[in-house]
Structures are given as C-alpha cells and as structure tokens.
Amino acid sequence: MKRSFLMVALFAGIGLAGCSAVTSGDGASDDRVQITYARGTDTTGATDVLVEAFEKEHPEIDVEVREMPSDTGESHNQYVTMFSGRSEEIDVFDADIVWSAEFGQANYVLPLDRLIERDQVDMDAYFPATVEAGRYNGRQYAMPGYADAGLLYYRTDITDQVPETWDELEQLAQENMGKEGSKFGYLMQAAQYEGIVTNAIEYIYSYGGQVLDANGNVVINSPEAIEGLQKMIDITNSDFVPNNILNFQEIDTESSFNEGNAVYARNWPYLNDTANDPEISKVAGNVGIATLPAGSEGAASSLGGWMRMINRYSDEVEASWTFVKWMSGEEGQKISALEGGKAPTLEALYDDKEITDVSTVLASEDFYDSLQNAIPRPITPIYPEISDIMQIELSRAMAGDITAEEAVERMETKMQAALESVTN
Amino acid sequence: MKQPKKRRFQLSERQLGYAMVAPSIILIAVIIIWPIMLSAWNSLFDYRLNDPAKAERISSLSINLETYADNRYLVYDTMEDVRDAMPDAGGTLDDITTALDEQHETLLNTDEGLADRYEEVNTMLDNFQPVNDEELRLVEVPEEWADGFANTLEEQTAAVQGLREGAPEEAVQPLTDLESQLSNTQGSILEPNFVGLKNYSTYLGDGRTWTAMLNTLLFTVVTVGVELAVGLAVALLINRVFIGRGLVRAAVLVPWAIPTAVAAMMWTFLFDGQSGIMAHYMAQFGLIDDPGALLSTGAGGMFSIMFADIWKTTPYMALLLLAGLQTIPRSLYEAAEVDGANKFQQFISITLPMIRSAILVAVLFRALDAFRVFDLIYVLTGGGPANSTESISVYAYKLLFEQQNFGAGSALSVIVFLSVALLSTIFIKLIGSDLFSGRLKQ
Amino acid sequence: MVKRAGVGFYIFLIIFVFLVMFPFIWVFLTSIKPQGEIFSSFQWFSSNMTLDNYASALETRPLLMYMMNSFVVATLTTIISIIVASFTAYAVTRLPIRFKGLILGLVLAASMFPQIAVLSPIFNFVTDAGLRNSYLGLVIPYITISLPLAIWILSTFFIKIPLALEESAKLDGATPFQTFRKIIFPLAAPGVFTTAILVFIAAWNEYLFALTINTDDRWRTIPVGISFYQSQYSVPWGDITAATVIVTIPIVVLVLLFQRRIVAGLTSGSVKE
C-alpha cells in the first residue's frame, strides 16, 4: 500500500498548493474604482480594445472583463442565478434585447431614466426599435449596444436574382438549386429554440400579423398571422431545404452555406464575415446580401443584438453608468464596429466612411433599412415563457403535427393564460 | 479476556460510530437536504422572480417600500411632464395628487416609525442603492388601507385614460408612462402568495409534465437496461487475463472520462444531418432512412440521446461490476470446476449471485442519475423537436431559470424527488431487500 | 480466468475496442484536419494533416490552466470524499450504531433531487461563505454530491470482509479505528479505488456548478473551459476536438495507473486467508 499512500500525499500537496492561491487576491490598492463588465465570449478581441480606450479616457475607472457563456440562454440563466441571489459581483453586462422587461420587473437592473435625464443623453439618435427594446412600462432599463437584423444571403456566382417576395423565393430557390454543386435552395433556422421564434416573426409580420399589440394583448390569432405561418410551413416542408431543417440553428446554416451547399440563406449580419473568409468558406467572394423577402405587407426583419444594463445590486453605479454611456456613445460603438464588426445602433455612424468600409453589410442600404424597420420580439416580463410557448407550437406546426390555424389558436390560448397569471 | 484500557479517554464503539457518520450527515444535511426542504417550501407559493408582486414569499398582506417609493417618485415626476405638455390637464392632475397624497399619509400613519423607514428607503433609492434588508423593505399593511389604495389607483388610472382623448402629441408618451407607473405602483402591494398544493395540481394536470415524465421513464428504463447488459459483458471481458488488459481497460473508460458537456457537443457534431459521420454511416448501413432524421424527428432525437448516454455511461456500469467481480474468491470457481460445471453454469450459480449487491448498487445509482438526466438533452436537442425529448429535469430547469417561476419549478423538482423515492423504494423492496437487511445486521 | 485467449479473442477485442473508441477516434481525426475540411467530407484522413488546431486550442484559451484547476478540484474531492465516505460506511456496516437504515436512506435520498434545483441555494451558500471563484467553492458541493454513491459502494465492500479478521484484530488490542485503518480499508482496496475513479471522473466532468460558481476564467474547470471556445454563432470544431483530445490523455493515464489497484487489492489480501 505504500505506493498509493505516497500518491495520496502527493495529490494532497498539490491540492494545498492550489488552495493557498485562493487567499491571494489582487492587492491593487490605488484609488481607482473597479467595475466588472460581463459579456459573452468575444473572439474578435474588440472588447479588449474597447476597455483599453475607455480606461485611457477615464483613468479613474478600472474595468475588469468577465466572460459569460456564449449561449444566450445559458448566460441568461447564469445572470438569473446571480441576480436572484443579489450578487454584486457584476456591475455592467451585455443583455440580449429580449431581456429588458423581464430583468426590469425582477428588479435585477437599474432603471436608467434618472441618469439619462440628468446627463441629457439623446435617445433619439438611436434606431427607434433598439431604444424601444430596452424600455418597459415607461422605464428605460438598457442602453442600446449593437444591433442585428435578419438578412437574406445569396450566391452571386449562381444567380443575380434577388427574390422580392417569399413566393419568388420559393420559385427561385427551386430553380437554382443544384447549380454550382449546391444541394439546397434555401436555409433558415427552424430548430426548437429561440431562432424559430425570430424566423416565424419575420413571416408573420411580413404578412401583417402580430404577436402582441402595443397594449400587450395577444393578437396572434389573425388571418394575417396564419398566412405568414403557412408560408413558413410551406418552406420548411419544401424539398429545396435540407430535410433536417427542423434541427437547423445559425451555426448549421453557416457551415452549410459556407460549404457551398445552398443558394439562399437567412442569417444575421455576422455570416457575411465568415462566408467571405477563404480559410473557412468555399464561397468567399460570391456572397450577396439583401433584405428579407416580403409578404403581402412588405418585408420584416427580426431585431436582434445586445444592450447594456447595470446590475441593480452594483455598488459602483456612477462608474458603471459612465462606462455604459461611453460604450453606447459614438466612440464605443465605433470601436465595436471597427474591431468587432458589430452594427452600430447610432444612426449617424452609418454616414461615417470608416465604418461603412468595415464590411459590405454596414455599407449596405438594405441593411440600414432593415434596421430602421426591424421588429422587436414581444416586450413582456414573461418573454421567456411566451417564447417557450411559441417554440413548442411552431416546432409542432413545422413538423406537420398541427396546422397553422391550430398553432395560432394554441399559442393564443396558452399566451393569454400565461399573461393572466402575472400581475402586470 | 478484556484488555486493560491503554488510554484513559476512549470513545465507545457506538460513540465512535456516530462520530464517523457525522461528517457525511452534516455535509449532506447542509448542502443538499436543506435546499430540498427550501424547495419544498417554495413549491407551496406562487413565487415568480420576474413579477414584482410575487418575487418573495409573502404570508401576510404587505407593501414593498422600495417599489412603492420608487414609483411614487416617478409618478410625480411624470405628472410634471404631463403638466408641461398639456397645461389644461392641471385640474385632473391636482386631483390625482391629492388622492395619492391622502393615501400616502394614511399609510405612513398605520405604523409608528414608518415615515422614517420610508425616508430611509427613499434616500437609498436616490443614491441608487438596492434595499436588501427585508426588515426595512417589507411592511405589513391593514387590508382596508390596501383595498382603498387599490381603488384610488384604479380611479386615477381611469382619470389618466380620460386625459388621453384630445391630448396633444407630445403628451401621449408621458400619459402612457404615467399609466404604467400607476399600475407599477399597484405592484408594490404584496398579497400573500401561499397557494398550498396548487402548483402541484396545476402541473400534475398538465399534459406536458406527463409527456416529460414518460420520456424520462423511457429513457431511464432503456438506458439502464442496455447499460447493465453491455456493462456486465464488458466487465466480464476485461476481467479476463490477456495481454494489454490495462490498455483495454483504459480505452473502455475513455467515453466516461469525456465530460458530458463536451461529449454532448461532440455528439451534435457526429449526429449532424449534413456533416455528421455517425448519421452518415447509420444511413449508409440502412439503420435510418436518411441522415437528417437523427436529430430532427422525435424518435430519432430520443434514439440519439439514448445512444450517446449508453456510449458514455456503460463504462461506469462496467467499472462498478468489475469491482464486484473482484470480491468473488477464486476458490469458488475452482471448486465448481472440480464439480464439472461449465462456464455458463458457473456464471449463473456463482458470478451472478456473488455480484448481486454490486449490480443493485450500480443499477440503483444509474437509475437515479438517468431519471434526472439534464445536460445531454439540453445540449443535444434542447427538448425538441416539438418537445418530444424533453425530460422532467429539463422542464424544471426551463421553469426555474428561463421563466423564473420558482414555485412551479420547485414543485416539479419535488415531484421528481417523490417519483424517484417511490421507484427506488419499490426497487429495494422487490429485488434488493438484502441490501438493507444485510447492512443492518449487528 | 485461465490464460487461453486465442487469436479469435484478440480480433474480437480489437473490433470491440475500435467500436467503443470510434467517436473519440473521429474526434481525434477531426482535430488534425485543416479548418476547411472539417465539414466537407467523410474522409478519414486528410491529405494535409496539421497540428494547427492544437496550437490554436492552447493559444486561444488557457487550456492547461483549466486542466490544473480540474485536476486540483477532482483530486481534493476524491481524497476527502473517500475518507468521509469510508468513515460512514464503516460505522454503518461494522459499528453498533442505531438508525442505520435511516442514515442509508437519507444518504440515498440526497441523490434523488434534481441537481438543477439545488443549484441556486448552493450558489447562495457558496457566495455567503465567500468561496466563489476558488477551489473549495467547487470541492464542497462535489464532495457532497459524490458521498451517497461512495458510501453505498464502500458499504457493499466492507460488508464482505470476513468478520473473523476484525475479531482477531480486536483480540490483539486494536481499537475499532485502528481496525478500520489497518484492516478494513486496505482489504477493500478494489472498492476504494473503483470509488476513487468514479468520484474523480464525476468531479472532472461536472459542468453546471462549475459554470455558475467559478465565473472567473482563472478558476474555470475543463468542461466549462472547453464550452467557452465557441462564441455566439460559431463553434470552432477544430479547437474543440483538439482540446478534447488533450484533456482526455491525462485521464487515460490516471486510469491506467489506478486500474491495477482495482484488481490487485483482493487477490493480495483477504483471499489469502
């Protein structure tokens, strides 16, 4: 047994050595205020540049970056765990645009109205939808960060025809499928996750349907919404999409499009970067972008992107606000755009040559228009529940278990029940 | 016979026994049993973190001073905006102010020192400090006051709505805000949200719970069954003497050594309908119609999850059984050989009975784990498509962390706990009664 | 049991091991493919194999630090858990204490509650104890989670050790604790090492608590660390497969070292008697 006891002793030694490191915190004892900024993993390195530039301008504030899971749902759940425990560990964080009402009502984040008013921040300078997404019940819980809007990608080496409507898309996808080794006419996101909701909203709104109206009433059971949904069902069940489209997320769309498998695809602006990178993509240089096809009532892009919020339990509110204000201001957004390719939420920045030179997306009129008309997802404190209901029923409808009519009826009943169970 | 005691102080055997049990029991009690009891308590409330009126467990009618003071400030602030944008609304606004002030005065007079507490909260809010102290934040209020306050708020909201007609453009936004703020003020009144067993009846009557339950049960039965059979075979195999046995043992354990979170990611890659090698080969060998079916259909999804779990966890089972095999004295086999029993007979009459307790422990703990399956499903399918692979833990997780419905999520967790407890009791009673009785001798 | 393995047996063995290892082999093969070829073909070997993914995996994230963290956390968990669990198992199987059934039942009940539901209370507990972003913050929950299994396995082993051995030790004047340390514990070595491997790997694999409790990169463990290779819309399979291969190697070595003990214990111990 001697040998194994030796091993145990060895392990214990390592363990203790490891433990002693616990106590050695950072002993920086200057007067700088330290705040912690949490955000999802950033592979572009833009965050570091951003923080550096800020610290240079505000030497009194020291920003520490804390990485959160890149999966939006997972980071949401981690914030919930932290804030419900009133943790003050994080001061500022990047929030998905659908979180504001929920986090606001849960008293996790600081309402910014008093600060915005005090410092006279011009909220009209931002795209309206990005401000609206951070507002609930008359309070502003978030500052716009960067924006995303759904775009249509196409292969310029296969076709120069850009479908104006969903009907045209069906026809063109069918016609062009198979050219240049492509296997599919169209790619989208239809797995049971948040993506199926953003996709469905684009169909529903482009035919004039709505999910919740301005007063928060459920209005999804309308002929327009049914028409939009039916179009989505037709497309997911057509033979020009992959037969495992019900498991497609952005990543699958990206890898398949970059492999040269598809003619058209719906995705966020980020795809433009990877699709044009010859290292990973076989279609580099042959990528075109356009607004999404229109239904009977015009085109609609779901609004995506991230906002900045301040933890309600933060003990460094002033420094946090300075940082948030700066990040959401021109300087911060410009760095995010130049270094990270993120689309600014300040309208004026699209006149800046430096920024439009970053990528064809930022230079594209179509993208600017998409942002201008982007549709935020329903703004309600129980958005996760609403989204969950939609994910399930949409997934059922796409799988052919229920019809479009049944789907909207079921969504209507369940959403109403969910909204009734909360007070506001 | 008794030896003289060597030391003066010595624990009796029984005392030593309790002392040796204590660390485990204390750890388990503090880290696990206490949270379980807390969850059970939570499950009796309509407890939702994203609803200000239900964000804490309230047993008597109270007011949340933090919400109240914050909204009161905002209401008065917004009324100024309305006044600026719409001068002729002045009269109505004065009425609203009077009504609200009256209620405010009454409130502050219901309890001695309340006015001071209100001031303290207000100061904290001005400094953007959270009011973490429950003693300061929550105040019990009489029912008459709460009723009267609710009435006032309703009347004033109606009055604000009345102003909307004919309001100039620039007054629309402040009016909308004012309305929201009045309704938010109502959210500061916390009604008792103890609901008894209502969460249970709601979720036990919900089809989704039962689907999740059945999915979980199916998953548990199939995976544990297959893992036991394959695990036993593997254990017998690696218990043999052959060249390179150590390597084979290590190789067989590799699947178990890959973290579930990583393995699940790996399987999404392997099962992928377009570029996944497993999906590709399965389709080529005619096991599935087309590679896309694996993760995008309910049956395919369930199969993929089970397959990945069996691949990953069989080594665990095999290792436990292998350890059990070690406790069989070789002399038993030698005796059987002398009696002329063949290998199969030896397996039935010696191996199986001798490793029975190892099998029981392995199956019991595997089943407990399988019934609580979470990561694998969450990463591979997220419960989809069309909820056909959702397990009860995944459902509970969605309720707890995505929807922040702590009451309902806790109720579901308690339901899982009770089902598992019931199943393991039956299991131990039916097959494993000697597990307990064996332990209890002495 | 006898050395009689023929060629057929080895062929079977090779096929079997290959099938079990296939997913891992594929991960390995993917890890040495260049970026552009990962999604494009079902070919086993790329014509231009590369170690770029390994370099990139080690460069983009502090993988070796994650390994160190995981190693320390899993080792501490294993040692403490084995000691505490074997105490309990010994007391329950050998010492005249009451409520044995209740103790075993309570211990078992602790592994019946969904872990996701104890996440919040444990997070709050660890935060209040000031143990966030430390090894202990993970070790304490991990020990507790692994105790039920460890206690039950060790009990099944302890109970099989002939009472006679203990009796004779008693006659020689050994205290119960000495009996435990010198006789029971060594004799149950196969059980102890099996439990050690199971506990170690369980701690090595744990994700949810590690993700929530240690949010600072300095203290992240492997499962969490590897999941951080991906960003919102991209999964760098090259990096991830390379990282998976790197972190699996030490486990294989560890198992190779430990697995001997599983078999060695009994044959050199109690059976001799």
A372 touches chain B (CB under 8 A): no
- B52: in domain: no
- B315: in domain: yes
Nearest Cβ partner of B384 from A77, A106, A192? A192
Distance CA B37, CA B40 (A): 5
pLDDT of residue C189: 83
Strands of B189-190's sheet in order across: B138-140, B62-64, B189-190
Last residue in a domain, options B161, B190, B219: B190
- B159: in domain: yes
Are the Cβ atoms of A313 and B187 closer than 8 angstroms?
A: no
A385 touches chain B (CB under 8 A): yes
pLDDT band at C134 (very low <50, low <70, confident <90, very high): very high
A397 shares a domain with A264: yes
Residue type, A118: R
More confidently predicted of A226 and B433: A226
Q: Is B393 helix (H, G, I), strand (E, B) or coil?
A: helix
More confidently predicted of B275 and A153: A153
- A281: in domain: yes
pLDDT of residue A188: 96
Distance CA B94, CA A148 (A): 45
**Helix, strand, coil shares of chain B as percentages rounded to 5?**
75, 5, 25
Distance CA A358, CA A342 (A): 10
Are the Cβ atoms of B20 and C87 closer than 8 angstroms?
A: yes
Are the Cβ atoms of C234 and A43 closer than 8 angstroms?
A: yes
Nearest Cβ partner of B401 from A77, A395, A396? A77
A364 shares a domain with A386: no
Which pLDDT tens digit goes with each residue over C57-102? 999 899 999 999 999 999 999 999 999 999 999 998 888 888 888 8
Distance CA A415, CA A409 (A): 10
A157 shares a domain with A115: no
Looking at chain A, the whole-number percentage of residues with pLDDT higher than 90 is 74
Structurally, chain A folds into a number of domains equal to 2
Which pLDDT tens digit goes with each residue over A3-47? 444 444 444 444 444 443 333 334 444 678 999 999 998 888 899
Instruction: Pick from C234, C255, C258 the residue to mutate for testing the A interface (most A CBs within 10 Å).
Output: C234
Are the Cβ atoms of A89 and C79 closer than 8 angstroms?
A: no
- B257: in domain: yes
Q: Smallest CA–CA separation between A266 and chain B, in Å?
A: 18
pLDDT of residue B1: 42
Structurally, chain B folds into a number of domains equal to 3
- A163: in domain: yes
Last residue in a domain, options B190, B225, B240: B190
Structure tokens at B210: 């039962």
Residue type, C134: S
- A10: in domain: no
Nearest Cβ partner of B440 from C101, C237, C263? C101
B76 shares a domain with B148: yes
A176 shares a domain with A70: no
- B48: in domain: no
- B400: in domain: yes
B32 touches chain C (CB under 8 A): yes
Nearest Cβ partner of C217 from A40, A67, A71? A67
ipTM: 0.89
Task: Kindly report the average pLDDT of chain A as a whole number.
Answer: 89
pLDDT of residue B242: 82
Q: Which chains touch B (3 or more CB pairs under 8 A)?
A: A, C
Q: Are B398 and A388 in contact (CB under 8 A)?
A: yes
Distance CA A233, CA A405 (A): 12
A395 shares a domain with A247: yes
- B422: in domain: yes
A74 shares a domain with A134: yes
- Taking CA–CA distances from A38, the nearest residue in chain C reads C215
Which structural domain range is residue A226 located in?
151-300+382-420
Which structural domain range is residue B247 located in?
201-440
Nearest Cβ partner of A84 from B49, B52, B384? B49
Nearest Cβ partner of B290 from A243, A382, A423? A243
B149 shares a domain with B70: yes
B254 shares a domain with B106: no
Looking at chain A, the whole-number percentage of residues with pLDDT higher than 70 is 92
In total, the C-beta contacts within 8 angstroms joining chain A to chain B are 147
A193 shares a domain with A237: yes
Are the Cβ atoms of A69 and C79 closer than 8 angstroms?
A: no
- A21: in domain: no
A123 shares a domain with A66: yes
B78 shares a domain with B141: yes
Last residue in a domain, options A372, A392, A411: A372
B205 touches chain A (CB under 8 A): no
pLDDT of residue B128: 86
Kindly tell me the number of DSSP H helices and DSSP E strands found in chain C.
13, 0
Distance CA A150, CA A272 (A): 12
B273 shares a domain with B237: yes
Nearest Cβ partner of B261 from C20, C143, C223? C223
Q: Which of the residues in chain B have pLDDT under 70?
A: 1-10, 431-442
Distance CA C89, CA C57 (A): 43
A253 shares a domain with A293: yes
B114 shares a domain with B12: no
B280 shares a domain with B241: yes
Tell me what the mean pLDDT of segment C130-146 comes to. 94
Residues with Cβ within 8 Å of B248's Cβ and at least 6 positions away in sequence, in order, are B238, B242, C13, C17
- B325: in domain: yes
Lowest mean pLDDT among A153-157, A196-200, A339-343: A339-343
Nearest Cβ partner of B50 from A106, A138, A256? A106
C173 touches chain B (CB under 8 A): yes
Tell me what the mean pLDDT of segment A47-74 comes to. 93
Which pLDDT tens digit goes with each residue over C242-272? 999 999 888 888 888 877 776 654 444 443 3
A347 shares a domain with A266: no
- Taking CA–CA distances from A194, the nearest residue in chain B reads B382
B 276-305 near A (Cβ less than 8 A) = 290-298
Residue C34 exposed, middle or buried by CB count within 10 Å (0-12, 13-18, 19+)? middle
C72 touches chain A (CB under 8 A): yes
Last residue in a domain, options B190, B220, B240: B190
A253 shares a domain with A130: no
Instruction: Pick from C38, C50, C232, C261 the residue to mutate for testing the A interface (most A CBs within 10 Å).
Output: C232
Q: Which residues of A touch C227 (CB under 8 A)?
A: 69
B364 shares a domain with B247: yes
Q: Are A51 and A65 in contact (CB under 8 A)?
A: yes
A161 shares a domain with A108: no
Are the Cβ atoms of C72 and A268 closer than 8 angstroms?
A: no
Distance CA A349, CA B39 (A): 50
Tell me what the mean pLDDT of segment A328-344 comes to. 93
Are the Cβ atoms of B385 and A246 closer than 8 angstroms?
A: yes
Domain CATH for A236: 3.40.190.10
Q: Which domains does chain C possess?
A: 62-227 (1.10.3720.10)
Q: Is A24 helix (H, G, I), strand (E, B) or coil?
A: coil
Residue type, B106: T
B199 touches chain C (CB under 8 A): no
Instruction: Pick from A81, A90, A183, A255 the residue to mutate for testing the C interface (most C CBs within 10 Å).
Output: A81
pLDDT of residue C262: 67
pLDDT of residue B385: 81
Which pLDDT tens digit goes with each residue over A258-299? 999 999 999 999 899 889 988 888 999 999 999 999 999 999
A70 touches chain B (CB under 8 A): no
B362 shares a domain with B214: yes
Tell me what the mean pLDDT of segment C122-151 comes to. 93
DSSP designation for B228: H
pLDDT at A173 over 80: yes
Tell me what the mean pLDDT of segment A93-109 comes to. 93
Are the Cβ atoms of A40 and C71 closer than 8 angstroms?
A: no
Question: What are the DSSP E strand ranges found in A215-256?
Answer: none
B141 shares a domain with B79: yes
Q: Which residues of B touch A395 (CB under 8 A)?
A: 384-387
Lowest mean pLDDT among A138-152, A333-347, B355-369, C2-16: C2-16
B124 shares a domain with B207: no
Q: Are B114 and B153 in contact (CB under 8 A)?
A: no
- A17: in domain: no
CA dihedral A90, A94, A97, A100 (to 10 degrees): 20
B212 shares a domain with B160: no
